[in-house]
Structure 1
Amino acid sequence: MILIVDDRQENILPLKKILELHRFSVDTAESGEEALKKILKTDYAVIILDVQMPGMDGFEVANAISGFSKSRDTSIIFLSAVNTEKKFITQGYTSGGIDYLTKPVDPDILVLKVKILHRLYDQQQELRATQDSLRKEVDIRKRAQEELAARFQELQTVLSSLPQMAFAVAPDGQIEYVNQHWFRYASSAKSFPETHEQDRLYDGWTTIFTQEDDFTREVRLKDLVTGEYRYHLLRILPIRQQDVLIRWIGTFTDIHSQKQAAELLEQQVKVRTNELQLKNIELERTNHELQQFTWVVSHDLKEPLRKIQLLNDTIKEKYLKGNDEAVSYLDRSIRSSARMSSLINDLLAYSRLSNPESFEQTDLNGMLGELLLDFDEAISRTRATIVIDKLPIIETMPSRMRQIFQNLISNALKFSKQNVPPVIRISADLIESKDIEAAPVSDGAYCRIMVQDNGIGFDEKFLDRIFVIFQRLHSRTSYEGTGIGLAIAKKNIDKHQGLIWAQSRVDEGTRFILVLPVQQASQLVVNETV
């Protein structure tokens, strides 16, 4: 903005019009006092100041303006129609004027001078703004450096208090700081510790710093006192400020004791593993011998039992006709022998569970169709109804799966209500997880099979007993059996990596639930103890 100061309005108006035609913003004042008031409030690029004015003349106004810091970049052009002598011109320049023009003024010359001075003012303002910005930037950088130095001092204090070897490295790879523990492994603060030749750590030191990433590895350092190499864990972290890497901080943590303990533990594990392998071989041999012993004992026990049963039948038929009391005692002996024979057969079946067998795709519907032929007499005698839904084809060990269904169907027929024909239903669905309560899905990885009957049921508080060998919930006089069937089923389900569970209430029937994988992860079950 341009300020024109003159006590005569007829002098102000022409100058104002000329400058406004050249797109300058123009302000006016008709006295020195009014000009000083406006200068205190507004920044002016150029002041055109008349010399002769009542009150304060132009020289006095210029001297007053020179004391204002606000107007230090403002240029003053003096105008005078009377004071054209050299002494007045000199006084104008000494008062702070940039130029001294006499009236009448050439408008073109005046406009050119104003343009130049206005441009100079703008450049001075830009330069001053740049200087202020640079000054602020310098102050900010200075404060940041001071803060960084203070933080680095704090960091050095922390590193010096660590029990590990600690160091700081500049971005160019030069060591900036090391703590006292450093000198146990390094000869100076500017050299790295000596490492074992197999570690070759410092061959790739430059590569570590160019990656600008965390670095961790185990390394052996040479102890300068003892000469031995000790294991250390090296950890190097980049420190950044405003995404600019300023240094690396690293530590060497002594892990020699832990390393030795780990190596000792590894050796002990290896020894124990060898021992377990030997024990496993011995156990397999013992198991095989036990199986052979079971076969021999069962054969030897069966033979005298058969003779006892044969002799009892012979005595009953030939010598005890008409002696009802003796026949009663002999019948009890025959039944005991039969139970003993059944027990031996079940024990023999249980012992066979340790034999290896391969998995194969099994059609459960076909298996159950063949199995029901073995129950023709019992089904006819009890007038039982057996309903088998469509079952999926899954991977099983067929003979073991047959044992499971045989025991479950046998129990359902055996533990039926008096004078109530048994109803047995076998159904299945696919589920997504190995869980009794899992939701059914069309492509589940597990198959849930349910065997439901309408028999006498049992109290669920005995659930933890029914799958244990020789455990019975009913007396032998009420229901025959050895208490091994469900234990065999449970063992076979375990071989299939599956689950078996039961749900029941007294006089409301029982539901057995089996959960089996559709595809087995292992194709062969190895020998194991029963």
Structure 2
Amino acid sequence: MILIVDDTPENLISLKKVLEKNNFEVDTASSGEEALKKVLKNSYVLIILDVQMPDMDGFEVAEAISGYSKAKETAIIFLSAANTELKFIAKGYSSGGLDYITKPLDMNILLLKVKTFYRIYEQSRKLKEMQETLLAEIEFRKEAERKKDEFISIASHELKTPLTSVKGYVQLLERSVIKGDTATVKKHLEKAQIQLEKLNSLIADLLDISKIESGKLKLNKQEFSIDYLLDNVLEIMHQSNPTFKIIKRGKANCNIFADEMRIEQVIVNFLTNAIKYSPGTEEILITVNVKDEQVYVAVKDSGIGMLPEQLEHVFDKFYRVEETSQRFQGLGIGLYISSEIIRRHGGEIGVNSEYGQGSEFYFIMPINLKTEATTN
């Protein structure tokens, strides 16, 4: 928009008509004070400013405008009928003007100048947008690089821990075998097996991430009982975590058409997270029901819970919820993988949580989404 500032009404009207006829949006002010008020409220690409005005001349108006952060980049063209000497023209430029035109006006020349300023403005605006986009992309590369480095560091640590443990148990096994201590051999084998399962789980998650990124995560769908699946999962979880009581509430009483192994993976992830992030507690609630041809499964704990800013990112790749007083193991990809699995089943995944009051992770998905048996 263009602002014309002139204390002579006929000058305002005639110039406004010419500019509007050439498809420019125009605003007017009949004094310097009125112009300054409008500049504070509105954004202008160009200000056409008369020099000879009472109370506040054009030079003073321009100097005041240059002090406004909002308008300091606005182009100003001075118009003058009396002050045509070189010293006044120089003052116009020093006051912040980009051009100084003497009256009587040649409207064709003025229009050419206005169009030129508009073209420069558009080019500058586009260049600024490109710079902002480029800076945003650079920041996104930097953030991606930081996350990659952090993930490599975490992955190295998490993979090294079970490997080191297995190595230690193998050394202990060797000594126990030499001594013929069968009971100790069995104990060390069981502990080594647990560490190997952890290692296997970490590697499986890394492979799943790779499949998701390359679009090769396959779903082998078939009908199965969600209740039977849950009962099996709870039995396995109880064996590996005997101190935790997992209470099942509700029943689906139906078969669902989905990838049984992947749905089990999501439920196991919910349960292991509930146990991991609930130190000092001993009970977890799992709820299942069916409504409107959709199955609902939720796992609720009484653990540390999450802050609102953590809830926003909990399903992001590589995001890990950390408590200041303790460090939890994991790569920060389990919930991301779970969200991708549920999304590819046409479902919805979510979480309800309050800091210090525990969390409830859930998913909802169609029970009978008949698609291809194998889906990429």
Normalised to the residue count of structure 2, the TM-score between the two structures is 0.45
Which structure: larger Rg? 1
Normalised to the residue count of structure 1, the TM-score between the two structures is 0.33
